[in-house]
Amino acid sequence: MDKQVLLETRERVSPYIHNTSIFTSSLLDVMSGSKLFFKCENFQKMGAFKMRGATNAIMQLSKEQQEQGVVTHSSGNFAQALSLAAKNLGVTAYIVMPNNAPKVKKEAVLAYGGIVTDCEPNIAAREQAAQQIVDEKGATFIHPSNDLDVILGNATAAMELLEVHPDLDVILSPVGGGGLLAGTALAAHYFGNHCLVIGAEPQVADDAFRSLKSGQIETNDSADTVADGLRTQLGDINFPILQKHVDHIICVEEQEIIKAMKILWERLKIVVEPSSAVGFAAVLKEKEYFKGKQVGIILSGGNVDLETIKFS
């Protein structure tokens, strides 16, 4: 791993992704006491940063592998991302989705041409269904977060942010499966100017926080958080990157996530999903820590079901 690998990744995926806008708000700066730079991955193709990693992972397969298709299991955004990235690259995508995934996300997968297989909403069922497709179709399994090519693709979001704002003191990223946080950490390590990386995680799914404390990958007994993109756990590929390059993780309560999300919708006039709001929630929770700092916040996505979302 070196800087060159990241530069090559960015060059590879850039024709297939948006270099998304960076929003600022003098009102939110006053509210937080810091200078905030929001990297708007809700404006990314298919509505989330996951387009970056999915695109890179498929592009790194051999021609023979691409012809057999790709398969993943995902609660939502990575399913859409792999479907659209595959479509853009002329590859077949098989998607295993838990049967309680948000309706809007399942419809989007189908619209992007993904071939959907339903499964029970637990990790064992997801893995089993995906393995069956690997066996039967010869498709290559691509993990949503514990895959180095996915992580490298994800890193391009923070690379773009640091290209415009090279002197950020810190970048916050949500942490669920760990793929975005790991990519962000690599980007900050190679392209930041002493830029710290901090993870933000729902308190009720604080497995990453506990993993960094204990030095081994911890799991959640339950993960009933409104931030539905952050219910998953770390993996053996991204965890060592987090251990090496992430300063610490801040955990936030459910009500703090919802309040932060509402402020982003009301003040920035943008649609972000609950998982996107944990970084901003962490800044509001730890104002004293961030005071006066230049803070990058990755808003990870904007795919919500408008008819079911609640703000109180």
Binding flag, residue 76, a copy of itself (CB under 8 A): no
Stretch that binds a copy of itself, among 141-149, 161-169, 206-214, 270-278 (CB under 8 A): 270-278
List helix spans (H) across 215-253: 238-245
The verdict on 15 binding a copy of itself (CB under 8 A) reads: no
Amino acid at 167: D
Of the pair 163, 266, the CB lying nearest a copy of itself is at 266
- Taking the least distance from each CB to a copy of itself, the nearer of 8 and 266 is 266
The bridge status of strand 22-23 relative to strand 35-40 is: antiparallel
Minimum Å gap between C-beta 302 and a copy of itself is 4
Q: Could you say which residues in the range 78-107 bind a copy of itself, by CB under 8 A?
A: 104
Q: How far is the CB of 3 from a copy of itself (least distance, A)?
A: 32
Binding of a copy of itself by 8 (CB under 8 A): no
Of 310, 281, 290, nearest to 201 by C-alpha is: 281
Single-letter amino acid code for the residue at 11: E
Contact by Cβ (8 Å): 225, 251: no
How far apart are the C-alpha atoms of 308 and 213, rounded to whole Å?
36
Member of 16, 37, 38, 43 binding a copy of itself (CB under 8 A): 43
Measure the CA–CA gap between 35 and 28, rounded to whole angstroms: 8
Residue 3 to residues 10, 18, 233, Cα–Cα distance (Å): 11, 21, 27
Q: Quick one: tokens of 265?
A: 């919708």
Shortest distance, position 295 Cβ to a copy of itself, whole Å: 21
Q: If binding is defined by CB under 8 A, does position 194 make contact with a copy of itself?
A: no
Please select the residue that binds a copy of itself; options are 62, 251, 262, 286, rule is CB under 8 A: 262
Residues 6+ apart with CB under 8 A from 29: 35, 36
Residue 206 CA to residue 215 CA, distance in Å, equals 14
| 36, 139, 272, 277: which one binds a copy of itself (CB under 8 A) | 272
Spell 131-165 as b/e; 16+ CB within 10 A means b: eebbeeeebbbbbbbbbbbbbbbbbbbbbbbbeeb
Which one of 13, 39, 47, 228 is in contact with a copy of itself (CB under 8 A)? Answer: 47
Beta carbon of residue 73, minimum distance to a copy of itself (angstroms, whole number) = 24
With contacts defined by CB under 8 A, name the span among 177-185, 215-223, 224-232, 302-310 that binds a copy of itself.
Answer: 302-310
- Pick one of 62, 214, 292, 311: the residue that binds a copy of itself (CB under 8 A): 311
Nearer to a copy of itself, 47 or 229 (CB): 47
Strand partners, 250: 200
Q: Select 4 or 312, whichever has its Cβ closest to a copy of itself.
A: 312
- We find the least distance from the C-beta atom of residue 289 to a copy of itself, in angstroms, to be 27
Q: Does 37 bind a copy of itself (CB under 8 A)?
A: no
Q: What is the three-class DSSP state of 82? A: helix
Give residues in contact with a copy of itself (CB under 8 A).
Answer: 21, 40, 42-43, 47, 104, 262, 265-266, 269-272, 302, 306-307, 311-312
